[in-house]
Amino acid sequence: MPTWNSRGLRGSHLEEIINRTNQKYKENNLALIQKVPTPITPVKIDSKSRHITLAYFDQKSTIDYIGAVQGLPVCFDAKECAVDTFSLQNIHEHQVEFMEKFEQQEGISFLLIYYSHKNIFCYLTFKKLNEFWKRGKNGGRKSFRFDELNADYLFESSNGYFIPYLEFLQKDLDSRD
């Protein structure tokens, strides 16, 4: 069984907080956001417990969450970072491509990054993510530093169990031409 420190459970606390937040938004009729399951094919199933004991990924997953906020299509990926430098290796090219196509369809894409060592969240707009991505693709840094982020999009969770990302989504919308 995987342990808390294993790769398989990284970010599960973050996911739990986001899921609670999404439930609260749903209950208040503010948004309907769902976790996108990673498609797998079971190989072995324990016949007694009916648990999958071995499986493989069917395809690359795109983003973590997708839905609508007051009729506006929204998708985002959640990442956790334990240092001040976020490596772009934590984001896959197919994810950036999906988010870009989502934006072209007049949806809103973003990253929600939790800097665990600072207990700070960042709503990273797709526009800013794409700037960092293109910089890396063009031979520049393949990471970005915490101090490169827009301070207007940094925040703490509310009581440690709620992430008010809709406030930052509104800022994102207000900043668009």
Residues 103, 107: Cα–Cα separation, whole Å: 5
Residues 172, 177: Cα–Cα separation, whole Å: 10
CB 153 within 8 A of CB 123: yes
CA proximity to 90, closest of 132, 55, 30, 118: 132
User: Is 95 assigned to a binding site?
Assistant: yes
What DSSP character marks residue 131? H
Residues 162, 25: Cα–Cα separation, whole Å: 10
User: Is 62 assigned to a binding site?
Assistant: yes
End-to-end CA distance of the chain: 49
For 138, the 3-state DSSP assignment is coil
Residue 114 burial (CB < 10 Å; 0-12/13-18/19+)?
buried
User: Is 64 assigned to a binding site?
Assistant: yes
Known binding-site residues for Mg(2+) equal 62, 64, 77, 95
Known binding-site residues equal 62, 64, 77, 95
